[in-house]
Amino acid sequence: MNDVLDVGSASAAPAERADGWIHATDLPTGGSERLPVTVINGAADGPVLWVTGGVHGDEATGVAVAQDAAATFADAVGAEDIAGAVVVVPVVNPAGLRRNERTSYYGEDDPNRHFPDTEREDSRPPETQERIDTRLFDALTDSADLLVDCHTAQIGSIPFTIRDRVLYGEERTEAEAETLAEDLDRLATALGFPVLTEYPAEEYVEQSLQRSTAGAALNTAGIPAVTAELGGHSVVEEDARAACVAGIVAAAVEFGLLDARPAGVVEAGASVPDAPVEYPVRRFVGPRVEEAGLLRHRVAVGETMESGDAVAEVVTPHGDVVETVESEHDGYVIGRAEGLAVYEGNPVASMAVRDDGDLVVPRDQDDDE
């Protein structure tokens, strides 16, 4: 028999659902900032799957996926048929959601770069957003065995899953990282979206992605965790929402929370285009322009590219071409830059490009020399 599961103020006995709140921070006007949490506790023992959304306040589809995943497990499945538990936090950044912006008003930088990293040294005391992220991280690591963090990418982009590099060093050995990577790959594949591996390790750490929700869960806590990117921001994209709920259910089946996909839930990946290439790919933002001007895209989302192919043109206000922007890699386009005006150094696309690197890598690249 499963035990009572407490997350924040939500306390669910076996075969029950409970709603509650996770304390985030006190407010200067009185009261407190709270993160909504739902716990669906199964009747039998098993892994605990966490689903989070809304760490960026304008990413509407991720919030809807998390809410609807909770409803699916509580109603369409039923807690009595779950082995383990499902914990859902649909709004990780309520301060950003209130103003429909990516950031919070506790800090104007990315709120998804402040989760704990035990191998990072910092002499400055944590500020508000870092403290909020740490409280959520502590709640997550108290119970989670798996995590799906729901995001959106660019307007017009296709859904995909980001699989982080698994780092080894002080936190874990290479053998431990290899074992973790096997479960990570199972989770990423189960969602049914095209899978992109994150940036190469050096760039990954430079961008503090090991301090994202999924990155910290994976590389600090050792919990298999992936990021689902679900189309464009600001409005709920229904096809992506339904596909991700189906993928989360499929992940629950893969890891034994459910015996089988319940009636009424579509098969994972049924409405998602397959990756248009067969080789492994990683995430890449680019290519970038060298001339300022007005952007004209020359490729569609989902279109394959080879190194040297034209991706976009930059034109003057009178329409004269000043630059043809070429792809630096083989791969395919997952999203195009929004807006008309570009300045030197701006990217024109997000791409899935050929990845010849390893999934398991040393955090300190000098260790591999």
Per-residue pLDDT, 1: 63
Strand partners for 25: 33
Do 308 and 241 share a structural domain? no
Do 92 and 180 share a structural domain? yes
**Any domain includes 159:** yes
**Any domain includes 129:** yes
Per-residue pLDDT, 365: 66
Above pLDDT 90, what percent of the chain? 89
Residues 6+ apart with CB under 8 A from 112: 55, 56, 212, 213
Residue 254 φ then ψ, to 5°: -55, -35
**Any domain includes 262:** no
Do 191 and 121 share a structural domain? yes
- Report the SS3 class of residue 63: helix
Mean of all residue pLDDT scores within the chain: 95
**Any domain includes 273:** no
Range of the domain at 139: 5-254
Above pLDDT 70, what percent of the chain? 98
157-198: per-residue pLDDT in tens? 999 999 999 999 988 999 999 999 999 999 999 999 999 999
Do 296 and 214 share a structural domain? no
64-91: per-residue pLDDT in tens? 999 999 999 999 899 999 999 999 999 9
Do 234 and 116 share a structural domain? yes
Do 233 and 104 share a structural domain? yes
Statement: residue 44 has pLDDT above 50: yes
Statement: residue 33 has pLDDT above 50: yes
Q: pTM score, two decimals?
A: 0.96
**Any domain includes 128:** yes
Last residue of a domain, one of 254, 272, 295: 254
**DSSP 8-state secondary structure symbol assigned to residue 158:** P
287-321: per-residue pLDDT in tens? 999 999 999 999 999 999 999 999 999 999 999 99
The pair of structure tokens assigned to 218 is: 């994976």
CA dihedral 170, 176, 179, 181 (to 10 degrees): 10
Domain of residue 200, CATH code = 3.40.630.10
Handedness of CA 222, 206, 114, 286 (dihedral sign): negative
**Any domain includes 368:** no
Per-residue pLDDT, 366: 59
Do 349 and 247 share a structural domain? no
Do 80 and 205 share a structural domain? yes
Do 305 and 248 share a structural domain? no
What counts of helices (H) and strands (E) characterise the chain? 7, 20
CA–CA gap between residue 166 and residue 89 (Å, rounded): 24
Do 227 and 333 share a structural domain? no
Number of domains in the chain: 2
Strands (E), the chain: 5-7, 10-12, 16-26, 32-41, 44-53, 83-89, 146-151, 160-163, 166-168, 195-197, 225-229, 281-285, 293-297, 304-305, 310-315, 321-326, 331-336, 341-342, 349-354, 360-362
- The stretch 12-26 carries a mean pLDDT of 97
Contact present, 174 and 363 (Cβ < 8 Å): no
215-265: per-residue pLDDT in tens? 999 999 999 999 999 999 999 999 999 999 999 999 999 999 999 998 888
Omega before residue 262 within 30° of 0, cis: no
315-368: per-residue pLDDT in tens? 999 999 999 999 999 999 999 999 999 999 999 999 999 999 999 999 886 555
Per-residue pLDDT, 369: 46
Do 99 and 38 share a structural domain? yes
**Any domain includes 272:** no
- Report the SS3 class of residue 113: helix
**Any domain includes 362:** no
Do 332 and 221 share a structural domain? no
